[in-house]
A and B are shown apart, each in its own frame.
Chain A
Amino acid sequence: MIGIINGRVYDPCNGIDGKVRDIWVKDGRIVSPAEVDRSAADIIDADGMVVMPGGVDIHSHIAGGKVNAGRKMRPDDSRGHERPSRELSQSPRVYTRSGTGRSVASTFKTAYDYVEMGYTTVMEGASPPLMARHTHEEFEDIPILDKGGYILMGNNHFIMDCIRRNEKEKARDYVAWLLGATKGFGIKIVNPGGVENFKYKQNVTDLDDKVIGFDVTPRRILETLSWINDELGLPHVPHIHGLNLGLNGNADITAETLIAMTGREAHFTHLQFMSYGGEMGKPVRSAAEVTARVVNANPNITVDVGQVVFGDTTTMTADGPVQYRLHALTGNKWFNDDVEAETGGGVTPCVYRKSNPFNAVQWLVGLELFLLIEDPWRVYLTTDHPNGGPFTCYPQVIRMLMDRDFRMQAFEGISKLARKNALLPELDREYSLYEIAIITRAGTAKRIGLDWKGHLGVGADADITVYADMEDREAMFARPRYVFKDGVLVARDGQIVCERPGQTVYVSPDYDTAIEKEVRRHIEDNYTIAFEHYAVSEKELSNGRQVACKP
């Protein structure tokens, strides 16, 4: 039993905005004071400190094929970012694992770095179904954190075949089977149709372009998967990465895609990469206003930003054509992937420079989105780790949002071209701690569909982060005083003190088992592996937690 007393609590789900409250923990859950025997409880006096639920990241690339490809192709990312093993206790002898890497850190280091920053739940942004086993194998080696993965479906041959033949019920059953077979958590759609077309050296640029060989359009893929998401009653909503990512003038198509989802629930990820103005071949400019306006007008849409942070990082996405273009542009090394009948992908290193007008505009777009989208419950903090920058830069982004002077100081340092006519200096908004708590845990947990996380109400998981209330918000959020996971102190003063396994959340919706016969034929005809070897069984997850669907 633990009591965290006298702290100023920020618990937006329960409307608590900086009030002094005592939090009581028993058996890994938050309990009411009546259930606790205070004399037997460990009391932590959080007087003058800030208490929040543990951080919840809605979109981050931490495990799976792409991340591992990044690790393999970037030994230079490890150099100077070594984390030695450290003794946690003498008897029994327990050590943390050593690890390396910054933008593509090894599994254990990823977990430790997240936890030491006060995060306790992280969702892997994109896992190809065929790579699900790899993703789960890596999850097994990402301790402490709770995690889950979104499964890529926007370019799946089986689904596109069903759509062509107007058999959306069959597509629904397949998606249900696929989620269960991959132990995934939700539907991820990346450049629908475009990744398939890239296999023919082409792409899609419009919602009504044709997907080669399937006679379907990105619009129909989006509509069908969104309908399936509703039908199956998945905890999360469709997680969408739209068309033309990273291209000048893509804000228009992004706005069109957002409008196409009117009346449906949807999450648009890393909106920063999708909100550029200007034309191809001309200087890029920010069009955050355009996309933010549409988001503000559609209460069923949520977004995460994918803020760019200046410095060296590794970009990776299932959007193969984007990575090819970036490789051609920078001359940096490039990994390309064709995941059989499902999706594609690419990895290439990238350096975001203040002096580069394009990079500087990307940085501006992210911050402008944060400041222009009015409802903090619908905009979430991410850097699309590692695409915009490593997650370890979150504290820096938080300070940018909370401190206008700090933001403007950084603004003065970026490319002159990008500063010209920029909107950012006109935006005076500063985030409060309450709003930061929403965009980093309360809002994200709610949107992912993890009702027992992201708040400190009775019955919630006792994932709690206690920060020293410092004026320098970057330092404050970089090194929390205490981090509890399931009621166990896992990090103190920004250092891991206890390692324990985390959970993997997944869904397993019901479906008509008649589909299995057809899926078997599909896999046997088109895949390099047998149907029997495709599905990830429950036994392979040492600490899985099935989340119920509500059809």
Chain B
Amino acid sequence: MGSQLNSEKTTAVSINDDGVTLRLKAPITLPVEAESICPDCFVGCQQSEILALPVFCGRRRKMLGDIFSVSGEASDRITVEGDLTHFKRIGQGMSRGRLTLRGDGGMHIGAYMKGGEICVEGNTRDWTGAHMTGGMIRIRGNAGHFTGAAYPGEIRGVNRGTIIVHGDVGNETGARMRRGLIVVEGHTGECTGAGMIAGSVFVFGKLGARAGAGNKRGSIVALGETAPMLPTYQYQCRAQFGFLGVYLRQIRKWGIAVSDDLLKGSFRRFSGDVTALNKGEILIHD
């Protein structure tokens, strides 16, 4: 009980905290390696130290202060303002706190993330939340390809954590994920859940072609339209699945419109991929 109180107390402190705000001084089109924009880096830093954190801008090493004006210090709550389309690896490996992007984000946002929350008010590019092992990423706009996917060559990808995309996503969303949840309010590209080991992907828009190719034990839930299924999935039954209600009510709490129709609806279950373990499934809402 005591430890629980303590943890509530620490949470309370960070909520009262005003946090650190970064404002982009001028638009940047060179690619920027910005893994230093991360709550774990900022939390123990005074403002001068935050200003001096390194970023690679093109091939030149610069300081955060060269690119951003900074207000606030020593916090794990970060707000970044400006177009960060060309900023890579923001929030990479973060384990705590909250990172808010008021604008678009670039590639690899929240890759290897362990905990905390990332909220992007615009769009992000490829590899959002790749290899994450905990925490939550919420994208108000669209995300690029390989959202919540494993990097090339890696056998296992995302292992726990939640990614919510309110817009559309590109190809290979959740590829080779092992655990965790990805919710897409819009449409998905091709090969959603390719090579999934386990985990769940919910798609409210149109589920793209070749979903679940090589899927071992993962669940893909299509709540809207679907492109033609792979021939390696077999129709099994039509049923109402109790566990889907649990998921969908939680998703509704996260702010996605889930109609009562969906909650009560029946689903067709396809099992596959028969070329892998055949323990995976695609559930399609009638």
Contact = CB atoms under 8 A, between A and B. Distances in A.
Contacts of A74: 153
Nearest to A351: B155
A75 B154 CA distance: 8
Interface string B140-166: 000000000001111100000000000
A77 interface: yes
Contacts of B154: 76, 79
Interface in A297-348: 332
B102 to A, nearest CB: 31
Contacts of B151: 75-76, 79
A73 interface: yes
Contacts of B153: 73-77, 79
A77 B155 CA distance: 11
Contacts of A77: 153
Q: Chain A CB within 10 Å — which of B152, B153, B154, B155 has the most?
A: B153
Interface in A480-501: none
A349 to B, nearest CB: 8
Nearest to B152: A75
Contacts of B155: 76, 332
A260 B62 CA distance: 67
Contacts of A75: 151-153
Contacts of A73: 153
Nearest to A77: B153
A331 to B, nearest CB: 9
Interface string B112-152: 00000000000000000000000000000000000000011
B244 to A, nearest CB: 30
A75 B151 CA distance: 9
B204 to A, nearest CB: 33
The main secondary structure of chain A at its interface with chain B is: helix
B1 to A, nearest CB: 38
A454 B10 CA distance: 63
Contacts of B152: 75-76
Q: Place the interface of chain B in its size category.
A: under 10
Interface residues of A, number: 7
A12 B154 CA distance: 45
Contacts of A332: 155
A79 B127 CA distance: 15
A425 B83 CA distance: 64
A77 B151 CA distance: 11
Interface in A43-83: 73-77, 79
B88 to A, nearest CB: 15
A316 to B, nearest CB: 16
Interface string B221-258: 00000000000000000000000000000000000000
Nearest to B276: A331
A317 B154 CA distance: 22
A76 B153 CA distance: 5
Nearest to B150: A76
B133 to A, nearest CB: 15
A159 B154 CA distance: 41
A73 B152 CA distance: 9
Nearest to A75: B153
Interface string B98-109: 000000000000
Contacts of A79: 151, 153-154
A121 to B, nearest CB: 32
Nearest to A332: B155
A73 B154 CA distance: 10
Nearest to A331: B155
Interface in B5-42: none
A504 to B, nearest CB: 31
B151 to A, nearest CB: 7
B197 to A, nearest CB: 11
A528 to B, nearest CB: 29
Q: Chain B CB within 10 Å — which of A74, A76, A332 has the most?
A: A76
A79 B154 CA distance: 9
A73 B153 CA distance: 7
A58 B152 CA distance: 33
A77 B153 CA distance: 8
A131 B213 CA distance: 35
A290 to B, nearest CB: 36
A285 to B, nearest CB: 30
B107 to A, nearest CB: 15
A74 B152 CA distance: 8
A77 B152 CA distance: 10
A117 to B, nearest CB: 26
Nearest to A79: B151
A74 B154 CA distance: 8
A37 B155 CA distance: 61
A472 to B, nearest CB: 31
Nearest to B154: A76
Interface in A436-463: none
B115 to A, nearest CB: 21
Nearest to A78: B153
A490 to B, nearest CB: 28
B9 to A, nearest CB: 37
A75 B150 CA distance: 12
Interface string A75-119: 111010000000000000000000000000000000000000000
A332 B154 CA distance: 11
A322 to B, nearest CB: 21
Contacts of A76: 151-155
A79 B151 CA distance: 9
B276 to A, nearest CB: 10
Nearest to A72: B153
A358 to B, nearest CB: 20
A79 B152 CA distance: 10
A449 to B, nearest CB: 39
Interface string B32-54: 00000000000000000000000
Nearest to A73: B153
A473 B209 CA distance: 57
A333 to B, nearest CB: 8
A74 B151 CA distance: 11
A308 B153 CA distance: 23
A217 to B, nearest CB: 40
B60 to A, nearest CB: 15
- What 3 A-B pairs have minimum CB-CB distances, sorted nearest first? A76-B153, A75-B153, A75-B152
Interface of B: 151-155
Interface of A: 73-77, 79, 332
15 contacts: A73-B153, A74-B153, A75-B151, A75-B152, A75-B153, A76-B151, A76-B152, A76-B153, A76-B154, A76-B155, A77-B153, A79-B151, A79-B153, A79-B154, A332-B155
Given A75-B152, A76-B151, 13 more contacts: A73-B153, A74-B153, A75-B151, A75-B153, A76-B152, A76-B153, A76-B154, A76-B155, A77-B153, A79-B151, A79-B153, A79-B154, A332-B155
